[in-house]
Structure 1
Amino acid sequence: MIKVLKYTEYLYLVVAIISLYKIATLWGIAPQETYIFIFFAAVSLGMFFFRRNYRKKFEQRKNDNQKE
């Protein structure tokens, strides 16, 4: 279960990197299209840190329950 959570958190990071690349390539050509990629990058980065924090709390809770 924890491995799946780790992979999904890095999937969000990949989406953010792809969005940042698209922002860089479309900035001068089509500025209206970059706004959606800015949104995707921001949400993906937020979800990456949220999922990472959630996974670490989940691991800590699991370790605490095993000690008892």
Structure 2
Amino acid sequence: MNYLKFTQYVYLVFGAYFIYDGFTKLNNPNLGTPWLSFIIAGVAVFMFFFRRKFAKKFEDRNKKL
């Protein structure tokens, strides 16, 4: 279960990629609409913080046992 501590950072990588993708689409209108990329990036960043909070709760619960 130690790998779960590191998988939360994958969400940050995806978030950074989709922010980059959104800005490239924003600068070049022929590539499509950038808003979907920004929405996916927002969800990825939200999931990072959600997973981090959940992992901390899980770890604290195991320390009490």
- Cα distance in 1, alignment partners of residues 49 and 37 from structure 2: 18
Identity score, percent? 36
Q: Which runs of 5 or more residues in structure 1 are unaligned?
A: none
Once the two structures are superposed, the pairs formed by residues 1-68 of structure 1 within 5 Å of their partners are: 1=1, 3-30=2-29, 32-65=32-65
- The runs of at least 4 aligned residues of structure 1 exceeding 3 Å deviation read none
**TM value normalised by structure 2:** 0.86
Structure 1 length as normaliser, TM-score?
0.83
- Which structure 2 segments of 5+ residues have no match? none
Equivalent residues of 1:5, 1:51 under 8 A apart = no
Root-mean-square deviation (CA), in Å?
1.5
> Which of the pair has the greater relative contact order for Cα pairs under 8 Å at 6+ separation?
1
